[in-house]
């Protein structure tokens, strides 16, 4: 799911987004509550009409901002009080408030409010976050008012398998429409993430979607799919696109590098996206060096298409029981240390 933090996938129109193969996008409850406000979105027809995206939309709950904006918030059992990063105003998110905002926004899938702890963290911190997540899930379930929105529960517990499983044991009887795994890709190593997923993901109900939140490196996605995960979101395609990094099956291209100055080939000769059909690496490098806004847009379009192509191929290989082939066709998915992504709250 491409990330449209403020009801917009940065630099890409809804038509361009659809052409990449995207069928569902994610929007951010915390950011939309601040600007323009849920009341405004509701008056203007809800997120679909407001943003011009007529496909499914998922809204997160604001729980990730409990982690990413930790210096600007205060947490207790009732909820989280934020000092707005925009103007310093106070925003209080409780489970009830998060659900009410998401009900107003009108997404198709909405998330329970949870506490996402950092990693590494003291066990007491992770235990407390897990306890709150379960208690808040109960309150979210009671507060949810719209039958046309699917409410997902979120499993927390850090890298502690016992805590993860106890959280699942508490959430599954609440009968959510789907279940997410939160609190990963927040500082742990690839090997730690995969070990946790191997022990946890396949224990979630098989008849409900399983969603790994905020994970986007190709190698992490394939490992998670092997563990039983169905859904993913991440800002990496567009964030990297804005910063002159292009994803290819063999790795990332750094478009500002001089080696691309007179390169006439596309970003990826196997890619069918608009960018690869029309433009050379040399032209894209020129756009970035000249500060032209078209550069980030074209590279984002390619990156979004890269991810959709990879996910489509994963689905095909699952059906043919040959998922291991993905590493040959997309070598970038092979296990390894890979690139270290910077975590921030700049959105998609």
Summarize the confidence of residues 102-130 as an average pLDDT.
96
For the ranges 60-74, 196-210, 247-261, which has the lowest average pLDDT?
A: 60-74
135 pLDDT above the threshold of 50: yes
In this structure, whether the domain defined by 14-234 belongs to CATH 3.40.120.10 is answered with no
pLDDT number for residue 66:
84
The percent of residues in the chain predicted with pLDDT above 70, rounded, is 97
| Closest of 109, 88, 134, 128 to residue 29, by C-alpha | 109
Task: Round to whole Å and give the CA distance between 253 and 295.
Answer: 14
Task: Round to whole Å and give the CA distance between 39 and 17.
Answer: 26
Task: Round to whole Å and give the CA distance between 40 and 45.
Answer: 9
71 pLDDT above the threshold of 50: yes
pLDDT number for residue 341:
55
Summarize the confidence of residues 23-47 as an average pLDDT.
97
Band (335; pLDDT cuts 50, 70, 90): confident
Residue 281, both tokens: 């690496």
Residue 148, both tokens: 């046309």
Active site residue 60: yes
For the ranges 68-77, 133-142, 174-183, 282-291, which has the lowest average pLDDT?
A: 68-77
Task: Round to whole Å and give the CA distance between 8 and 11.
Answer: 8
3 pLDDT above the threshold of 90: yes
pLDDT number for residue 337:
61
Would you call the peptide bond into 36 cis, given omega within 30 degrees of 0 as the criterion?
A: yes
pLDDT number for residue 138:
98
Band (345; pLDDT cuts 50, 70, 90): low
Summarize the confidence of residues 323-343 as an average pLDDT.
81
pLDDT number for residue 348:
73
**103 CB-near residues (< 8 Å, 6+ apart):** 110, 144, 145, 146, 149
Band (342; pLDDT cuts 50, 70, 90): very low
Task: Assign 3-class secondary structure to the chain.
Answer: CEECCCCCCCCCCHHHHHHCCCCCEEECHHHHHHCCCHHHHHHCCHHHHHHCCCCCEEECCCHHHHHHCHHHEEEECCEEEEECCCCCCEEEECHHHHHHHHHHHCCCEEECCCCCCCCCCCHHHHHHHHHHHHHHHHHHHHHCCCCCCEEEEEECCCCCHHHHHHHHHHHHHHCCCEEEECCCCCCCCHHHHHHHHHHHHHHCCCCCCEEECCCCCHHHHHHHHHHCCCEECECHHHHHHHCCEEEECCEEEECCCHHHCCCCCCCCCCCCCHHHHHCCHHHHHHHHHCCCCHHHHHHHHHHHHHHHHHHHHHHHHHHCCCHHHHHHHCHHHCCCCCCCCCCCCCCC
pLDDT number for residue 200:
96
60, 114, 220, 268: the active-site residue: 60
Q: Are 71 and 138 in contact (CB under 8 A)?
A: no
Sorted by where each begins, the domain ranges of the chain are 14-234, 239-307+325-333
Average pLDDT value for the chain: 95
pLDDT number for residue 67:
85
114, 220, 233, 268: the active-site residue: 233
Residues forming beta bridges with residue 2, ordered by sequence position? 234
Summarize the confidence of residues 31-47 as an average pLDDT.
97
Band (343; pLDDT cuts 50, 70, 90): very low
241 pLDDT above the threshold of 90: yes
Task: Round to whole Å and give the CA distance between 126 and 210.
Answer: 22
196 pLDDT above the threshold of 90: yes
Summarize the confidence of residues 2-6 as an average pLDDT.
97
The percent of residues in the chain predicted with pLDDT above 90, rounded, is 92
pLDDT number for residue 346:
55
């Amino acid at each position: 799911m491409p990330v449209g933090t403020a009801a917009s996938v940065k630099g890409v129109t809804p038509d361009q987004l659809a052409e990449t193969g995207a069928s569902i996008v994610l929007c951010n409850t915390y950011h939309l509550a601040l600007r323009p406000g849920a009341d405004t979105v509701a008056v203007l027809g809800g997120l679909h009409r407001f943003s011009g995206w007529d496909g499914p939309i998922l809204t997160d709950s604001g729980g990730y901002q409990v982690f990413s904006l930790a210096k600007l918030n205060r947490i207790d059992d009732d909820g989280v009080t934020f000092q707005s990063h925009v103007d310093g105003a106070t925003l209080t998110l409780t489970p009830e408030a998060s659900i009410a905002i998401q009900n107003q926004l009108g997404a198709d899938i909405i998330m329970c409010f949870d506490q996402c702890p950092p990693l590494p963290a003291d066990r007491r911190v992770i235990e407390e976050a897990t306890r709150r997540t379960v208690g808040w899930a109960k309150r979210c379930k009671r507060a949810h008012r719209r039958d046309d929105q699917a409410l997902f529960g979120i499993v927390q517990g850090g890298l502690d398998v016992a805590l993860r499983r106890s959280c699942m044991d508490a959430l599954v009887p609440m009968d959510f429409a789907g279940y997410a795994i939160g609190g990963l890709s927040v500082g742990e190593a690839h090997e730690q993430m995969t070990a946790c997923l191997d022990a946890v993901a396949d224990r979630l109900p098989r008849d409900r979607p399983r969603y790994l939140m905020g994970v986007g490196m190709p190698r992490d996605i394939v490992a998670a799919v092997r563990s039983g995960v169905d859904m993913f979101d991440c800002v990496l395609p567009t964030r990297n696109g804005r910063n002159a990094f292009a994803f290819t099956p063999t790795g990332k291209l750094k478009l500002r590098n001089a080696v691309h100055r007179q390169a006439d080939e596309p970003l990826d000769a196997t890619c069918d996206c608009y960018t690869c059909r029309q433009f050379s690496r040399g032209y894209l490098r020129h756009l970035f060096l000249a500060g032209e806004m078209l550069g980030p847009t074209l590279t984002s379009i390619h990156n979004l298409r890269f991810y959709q192509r990879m996910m489509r191929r994963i689905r095909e290989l699952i059906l043919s029981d040959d998922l291991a082939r993905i590493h040959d066709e997309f070598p970038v998915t092979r296990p390894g240390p890979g690139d270290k992504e910077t975590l921030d709250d700049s959105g998609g």
